[in-house]
Structure formats: C-alpha cells, structure tokens
Amino acid sequence: MSKFITRSAVLSDLDTLLEFEQGIIAFERPFDPTLKEDPISYYDLGELIKSDDAEVVVIEHEGQLVASGYAQIKKGKPYLDHELYSYLGFMYTDASFRGQGLNKKVVEALKDWSKSKGISEIRLTVYDDNAGAIRAYEKVGFKAHIVEMRIVNLK
C-alpha cells in the first residue's frame, strides 16, 4: 500500500490547488444555479495559506497532491455559546483517490489544528442535494444543523 502524507499547504502548491478549486466549482455547478458564468473563484488560496487564522491541508501521494481542505477561524454570532469557530471549506479529493478515507484524514488534520488554536466548534456548508458529500461529512461526525432557503426572481 502506498503512503499518503498529510501536510500543511505551501505557496508552491498553489497551481495544483487552483486546479482543485476549479474541480470543486465544476462539480458544484449543477447544485447551484446562482453561480456566475466561468471563470469564477471561491477562495483566495494564497492568503489562506499565509494566514495565521487559517490552515490549508493537503494530502500527497508519491509526490502528487491528491486531496485538500482548509479551516479558517471565524467569529461566532454574539448570541451563540462559542465566540470563535473553524469553518471548513475547499474539501477536494482527486477522483482516482476517492473512497480511500482521504476526506477523513483532511478533516482530522483540520480538527487537530482547530483544537491547537483553542477552537471547540467546527462548521461547514454543503449543498442539500449533494448526498455523497453529506454522507462523507456525517461519517466524520458532522450533523445537519440549519437549512438555508431562498426565494428568487422577486418582482
């Protein structure tokens, strides 16, 4: 069995991470009719990599990046029981490596980083119709919490 290495992303990973981001956007586009036409970008990955309030994690296999995710510390609403929380995003696994527990490895690394920063709450968002992602997040301990709803084309 080949070894997977989990590590913090560095700026020299950026080209591959930008490809991952476009893979995420392409995958999510059918779930979200509100996305603008390409080209779009979700993240400022360079800033996330450099930030003390964020951690970008990658998984490397034989010198190739195959998975990613980030945690970013955000302020909780003043009425919540936590002042800060980690928000997870940029969860990506290369198609040829899916089903091997890499999402779990990324989430565990981000949980460890969050704990090291004194954070006890982790949140993420996922499209309601993305059953595969929901199952993957439930496997690592996430539970559905809030459903965001919308009305469009008000006239």
* DSSP letters for 73-128: EEEPPTTSS-SEEEEEEEEEE-GGGTTSSHHHHHHHHHHHHHHHTT---EE----T
Strand 84-93 and strand 122-123: pairing?
Answer: parallel
Whole-prediction pTM value? 0.94
pLDDT at 1: 52
Cβ distance 113 to 55 under 8 Å? yes
What distances in angstroms separate CA 12 from CA 9, 17, 80, 97, one per listed residue? 8, 10, 38, 22
Q: Residue 75's pLDDT is what? A: 98
Name the phi and psi angles at 69, rounded to 5.
180, 160
Whether the ω angle into residue 39 lies within 30 degrees of 0, i.e. cis, is: yes
* Residues 95-107, mean pLDDT to the nearest whole number: 96
Calculate mean pLDDT across residues 5-9: 98
User: Could you tell me the pLDDT band of residue 154, with boundaries at 50, 70 and 90?
Assistant: confident
Number of C-beta neighbours around residue 110 at 10 A? 23
Tell me the average pLDDT across 50-74. 98
Cα–Cα distance, 60 to 67 (Å, whole number): 7
